[in-house]
Structure 1
Amino acid sequence: MSILRRVFSLSAVATVTAAVLLVPTAPVGAAGVPVGPAGDAFYQPPAPLPGSAPGDPIWYRATPAPIATVSGASAYHVLYRSKNATGADIAVSSTVFVPLLPTLGTRPIVALAPGTQGIGDKCAPSKAFANGTEYDQLYVSELLNKGWAVAVTDYEGLGTPGDHTYVIGQSEGRAMLDSVRAATRVPAIGLRAGGKVGLIGYSQGGGAAAWAGELQPSYAPDLNLVGISAGGVPADLDAVGKALDGSAGFGLLLFAAVGLDTAYPELNLESYLNDAGRKEFADREKCVSDFAPYIGKRISDYTTRSPLTQPDWQARMAENKLGSRVPGAPIFLYHASGDALVPFGQADALRREYCAKGAAVKWGVHLGEHVTAFASGRADAVAYLADRFAGKAAPRSC
């Protein structure tokens, strides 16, 4: 979210942005994976999609990224195959960071699910990393400093064709898992398959990480998943939507309505909109920096009746509710006790669901609210993955 940017000092951002851009040159067309075009053409996949399996790379390119330079790493954009919420083949983009220093054995890979960026193509994390403005970049730096490679998905529809399926876990989880597969299938990047994999994210990213964990046993059993850190998780879209309606975070509810309608076109959001809603939802290029006009707004300001209470919308939200499956690895869930954007109660309910199913869950509660827990929980989230990579027994809070 745009307010998260205030967590970082202006001096830190200036240091990253001012870094000299030294980008390693990747071999052209290594092992049949072509180098993609320059500019935004990179995000437009050929038809039909090359490859045959989720995670197959379409093309890649070396990219400037200030955080990679100051962290001693190389950076690449990758366009790869994935599947959307209904199982259709799609193209998704990502940024992959690899430390320049060699490592013993197979380098661990952390899939970082970014927090809320927006719904417009211009909001894609890969574009923000390239110009040094991505608020998750200091998170990436911490992971790189551990010697781990980092794969950051853009999710479905951020940069690539179609609208962004915001908070649709069935899509986000697959995009996250496939970002790891794709990173190991581009020989020029230099990562090997079979190494230990961790998942990490906060807010939208926390939901994506938890979803990737639930999907991994059936969708990506080839990945050696050893740990998940997920904070500020929107586990129950219905509960989160009710909390956001009329709140300072109402813009997130607008994004979620677009995400649901994009993932499931039969929901027909257009049929619920009044004149103000048709004008508002016609603009699908909003980023989190555009939130201010929506503070305190309600869904009733834009609709003739709320779509969120309709049976078909409720059913699709239920399909994207976490907790029906045990994650494929131990998980660290953490949340702010005073979170007014993503309610604490629904996250605690997810913890109880996982515990009841026998999952290995560590639970952390942070004083403060959504934004402060993003900062205060980061060190614990990274440390949790470090312990899983080291083979330590996973703690349990159940």
Structure 2
Amino acid sequence: MNTLTKAGSGRTRGVGLFTLVAATSVALVAAGCSSNSSAEADGAATLEPGQLLSSQQLRGAPVLPSAARSELITYVSQNAQGDPVVVSGTVSIPKTAAPDGGWPVLSWAHGTTGVSDICAPSADSDDGLAHDYLGVVDETLDRYVADGYVVVQTDYVGMGTPGGHPYMDGGTEANAVVDIVRASRDLDDSISNQWYAMGHSQGGHATLFTAAQGAERAPELDLRGAVAIAPGNGTSQTPAYLASGNPAVAPALAFLPLILLGAEAADPSIDADSYVTPTSKALLTAARNGCVAQIRDVIPSVPVDQAFAPGADMDKLIGYLKKQEPAQLKLSVPTMILQGTADTLVAEPGSKALAKALCDSGSTVGYKTYEGADHRAAVADSFGDAEQFFQQLQAGGTPAGTC
């Protein structure tokens, strides 16, 4: 079969998959933006969130060893404007026999890798730009597959498929996390409608929005609970943090281009380039062409006091970001927040305050820390507690330690 190498990814995908994604994306745009009654537009307009568009055998680094079957799929979801979009992701089906009622599903939301297509988990390779993170996470996800969970992993809107990635846009993240569960069930009749949402960092943020919106979005499914590991929060404070010009906050520059490009993807009236100086534009360029490591490589050349352009519309940016804060949510399913005490990217006090805010809103939330665990280590360290939480919910119990 002819293959097409995805630029910069070091792996191949079938031409048929990319042709379908491109053709479907064009048709979706036509359906959303044109009044013409062409056959393509009419066909695209009938596509429903969660509809499976394509599947093919997954190969290479993203394959979880304990899976009997690994699929690279595309499916329909919705962007921040509510328009249908094509999203890619992976489905890992266990080797173990399906129990009565089918295998439960774990929908994993990945942490920050970047916003460009080469940072998508399904595009990972042994020498991939985000493999240092994705490879570590996959080791833990494989344990869930070995224990009988179907693990589905969305790439999110705009990562691996056309269009920009609305980084940290809670509603769009939740759409992708929910809709891949719907799509996966078309692959195998033994996949249950019972499912759990779980994610790390950016994906922890996505998980909390899924815990708030997922059950209503897909009432035909049975969302039992959610686990958010070191969930991203307080993003609306980042612009002011950087605008202070304090050199000590330079590491946070890695997130500036992701926030700007993500906001632009969600709200086209926000122009990412209008927020940066000629010096800090290098951060946007790195984000458009690389992943987080490539952005960090540029940071030494960007003084913090030159991060934002004079006169940039900070109120508009911050106003958008405030709408993405998870502390304002009311969760509809029991949720655990799990956090490492040595995390310097998502600090423990912030996660603790987030858990309290969610409890105060009437949500059912548990909170646990892992002494000495940094941002990435919390994924593996929390495995036992997360799985026990899922098992208790699967058995119909009420997990202890929740508010």
Question: Into which bin does the TM-score normalised by the smaller protein fall?
Answer: 0.7 to 0.9
SS of residue paired to 1:48: helix
Once the two structures are aligned, what percentage of the paired residues are identical?
24
| Range with bigger deviation, 66-75 or 241-250 | 241-250
- Equivalent pair of 1:119/1:158 in contact (CA under 8 Å): yes
Establish whether residue 225 from structure 1 lines up as the match of residue 203 from structure 2. Answer: no
1:215 paired residue number: 213
1:362 paired residue number: 366
SS of residue paired to 1:323: helix
Separation in 1, partners of 2:96, 2:340:
36
1:48 paired residue number: 27
State the TM-score, normalizing by the size of structure 2. 0.81
Establish whether residue 85 from structure 1 lines up as the match of residue 80 from structure 2. Answer: yes
SS of residue paired to 1:254: helix
Corresponding residue to 2:309 among 285, 304, 312: 304
SS of residue paired to 1:276: coil
- Equivalent pair of 2:21/2:74 in contact (CA under 8 Å): yes
Establish whether residue 124 from structure 1 lines up as the match of residue 125 from structure 2. Answer: no
2:281 paired residue number: 278
Separation in 2, partners of 1:131, 1:97:
22
1:200 paired residue number: 198
- Equivalent pair of 1:230/1:381 in contact (CA under 8 Å): no
- Equivalent pair of 2:209/2:329 in contact (CA under 8 Å): no
Deviation at 1:164, TM superposition (A): 1.8
Post-superposition Cα deviations, 1:209-244, rounded to whole Å, max 9, x if no partner, equal 111111113322222011111011112212355567
Corresponding residue to 1:380 among 385, 393, 398: 385
| Range with bigger deviation, 175-184 or 120-129 | 120-129
Separation in 2, partners of 1:76, 1:298:
44
Deviation at 1:155, TM superposition (A): 0.4
**Structure 1 pair 78–130 and aligned structure 2 pair: CA distance change class (3 A):** farther
SS of residue paired to 1:115: coil
| Range with bigger deviation, 120-129 or 296-305 | 296-305
- Equivalent pair of 1:43/1:159 in contact (CA under 8 Å): no
Separation in 1, partners of 2:326, 2:238:
13
Deviation at 1:69, TM superposition (A): 6.2
User: What pairs with 1:319-330 in structure 2 (closer than 5 Å)?
Assistant: 319-330=323-334
| Range with bigger deviation, 158-167 or 269-278 | 269-278
**Structure 1 pair 397–55 and aligned structure 2 pair: CA distance change class (3 A):** same
SS of residue paired to 1:109: strand
SS of residue paired to 2:179: helix
- Equivalent pair of 1:234/1:240 in contact (CA under 8 Å): no
Separation in 2, partners of 1:93, 1:153:
6
Post-superposition Cα deviations, 1:47-90, rounded to whole Å, max 9, x if no partner, equal 32445221111222122245646314211111111111221221
Corresponding residue to 2:337 among 333, 341, 348: 333
User: What pairs with 1:1-398 in structure 2 (closer than 5 Å)?
Assistant: 37-38=15-16, 40-41=18-19, 43-46=21-24, 47-49=26-28, 50=44, 51-65=46-60, 68=63, 70-105=65-100, 106-128=102-124, 133=131, 134-135=134-135, 136-184=137-185, 186=186, 188-192=187-191, 195-239=193-237, 246-283=249-286, 284-295=288-299, 300-305=305-310, 307=312, 310-368=314-372, 369-398=374-403
Deviation at 1:129, TM superposition (A): 6.5
Separation in 1, partners of 2:229, 2:215:
21
Post-superposition Cα deviations, 1:342-377, rounded to whole Å, max 9, x if no partner, equal 233332222112211222211112233323323322
SS of residue paired to 2:344: coil
SS of residue paired to 2:378: helix
Total equivalences in the alignment? 360
Separation in 2, partners of 1:295, 1:266:
27
- Equivalent pair of 1:210/1:230 in contact (CA under 8 Å): yes
**Structure 1 pair 243–275 and aligned structure 2 pair: CA distance change class (3 A):** closer
**Structure 1 pair 130–176 and aligned structure 2 pair: CA distance change class (3 A):** farther
State the TM-score, normalizing by the size of structure 1. 0.82
**Structure 1 pair 244–305 and aligned structure 2 pair: CA distance change class (3 A):** closer
Deviation at 1:169, TM superposition (A): 1.4
Separation in 1, partners of 2:124, 2:94:
20
2:4 paired residue number: none
Separation in 2, partners of 1:153, 1:130:
19
Deviation at 1:97, TM superposition (A): 0.5
2:41 paired residue number: none
SS of residue paired to 1:275: coil
**Structure 1 pair 119–66 and aligned structure 2 pair: CA distance change class (3 A):** closer
SS of residue paired to 2:269: helix
**Structure 1 pair 202–270 and aligned structure 2 pair: CA distance change class (3 A):** same
Letter in 1 for 2:348: F
- Equivalent pair of 1:66/1:129 in contact (CA under 8 Å): yes
**Structure 1 pair 288–273 and aligned structure 2 pair: CA distance change class (3 A):** closer
SS of residue paired to 1:81: strand
Separation in 2, partners of 1:299, 1:258:
18
